[in-house]
Amino acid sequence: MHCTQCGNSITETTKFCGSCGQKAPVGQAKASPGSETGAAVEPQRTEQSQAFKRSRTGAKFTKCEASRPDSDGEINFDLEAIAINTTGDTVRLIQSTCMAINSDGHVVACGGQNEEFVRLEPSDSQPVSCGWFRISKNVLGNDPTKAKFQLFVSMFTREFAQITPTRVPQPNEGLKSLAVTKKFDGLQADLSINTWSTNESDGQVTISWGLMVLNNSSKALPKITLKTELLDEENAVLEQTDSSTTLQPGGVEWMESSFSGVRRGQAKQAQLRFSIASYSLLECLMTESTKTNLSND
């Protein structure tokens, strides 16, 4: 059995194609165990797992050109695309993945997942990375001129919160703990922050912290980012670091790091400032390339 959109092989119980995200036709999926009617069960979509929808306005290729095959039969493809914010919200994160589909409808190459932090207002556009493709002509199918590319684009909005700076404990003060609750668009994250300092052999100080994030809600948090800044007594940033994670409903994540080589004088007056951002999915789009300049020669 094959997907009606991209031709990818799927099973009778498939709800969404693993290649292009197309929903399986009604009746193609078997009833779930315990179903009394025996009718096909419609998949339950959530905000974070919605299928990609075909787009002619929200995402599109602007360039799709192929080089002539080299002596090894390899072809370089030059691809460019844009994403257009057709939602009513400001987009702060764009994730994109591009796939090469041969003339028989099979995926033969993937450009990997690309991620870019942006500020894209409604109706504005943004170039999207398609990855780099070098493909053997032999895998492009019986008619290489019918090979195409599919681009999958996910757009996210952002909720941002900054935690009041906390003084860095000195090496002889032991562990310092802080509990904070932050809400993001109806989602709640409980934060437990521990900070401590240790002396280094050269008289400098290592400042460490650990932060536990609990998604105390029924919705997934597809991306949580944490920025930690070390501030001096005038709130100037001495050092900073970033980390990110994904949290399922009820999920817990421990995030930790440290600043080493901090001068003892700086450590006495230093503070740690934590900024946390939660990204929520706005829209999933899929678009196909137009014909390339590839020939059968």
| Whether residue 58 sits in one domain with residue 111 | yes
Residues 111 and 203 in one domain: no
- pLDDT for the residue numbered 106: 94
Angstrom CA distances, 103 to 15, 139, 142, stand at 24, 9, 7
Q: Kindly state whether residue 296 falls inside one of the protein's structural domains.
A: no
Same domain, 219 and 275: yes
In a domain, 297, yes or no: no
Q: Please, which residues bridge with residue 186 across strands? A: none
How many CB atoms are closer than 10 A to CB 106? Answer: 17
Give the pair of three-digit tokens for residue 283: 């829209």
Q: CA 129 to CA 63: how far, in whole Å? A: 12
Q: Is 218 in the same domain as 190?
A: yes
Residues 114 and 21 in one domain: no
What's the Cα-to-Cα distance from 204 to each of 167, 200, 208, 271, rounded to whole Å?
A: 17, 5, 13, 16
Q: Are residues 84 and 168 in the same domain?
A: no
Residue 17 lies in a domain: yes
Do 99 and 174 belong to one domain?
no
Which residues form the domain of 185? Answer: 159-280
* Residue 217 counted as domain residue: yes
CA angle 170, 270, 211 (to 5 degrees): 75
Is 294 part of a structural domain of the chain? no
Q: What are the tokens at 290?
A: 């137009």
pLDDT at 185: 59
- Inter-residue contact 118 to 92 (CB < 8 Å): yes
Instruction: Answer yes or no: do 147 and 189 share one domain.
Output: no
Identity of the residue numbered 13 = T
Q: What is the pLDDT of residue 120?
A: 96
* Cβ atoms of 274 and 253 closer than 8 Å: no
Residue ranges, the chain, pLDDT below 70: 1-53, 55-56, 184-189, 290-293, 295-297
Identify the pLDDT of residue 198.
87
166 and 151 part of one domain: no
pTM, full prediction: 0.70
d(CA 169, CA 191): 19
Task: State whether 98 and 167 are in the same domain.
Answer: no
pLDDT for res 36: 37
Instruction: Give dist(CA 181, CA 124) in Å, integer.
Output: 34
Amino acid at position 140, single letter:
L
Categorise residue 189: left if φ over 0, alpha if ψ from -120 to 50, beta otherwise: beta
Pair (118, 19) in one structural domain: no
For residues 268 and 171, state if they share a domain. Answer: yes
pLDDT at residue 55 in the model: 64
Query: 192 Cβ partners below 8 Å, 6+ apart?
Result: 177, 178, 179, 211, 212, 214
pLDDT score of 48: 36
Q: What are phi and psi of 25, to 5 degrees?
A: -60, 150
What's the CATH number where 76 sits? 2.60.40.1470
User: Per the structure block, which two tokens stand in for 18?
Assistant: 């693993």
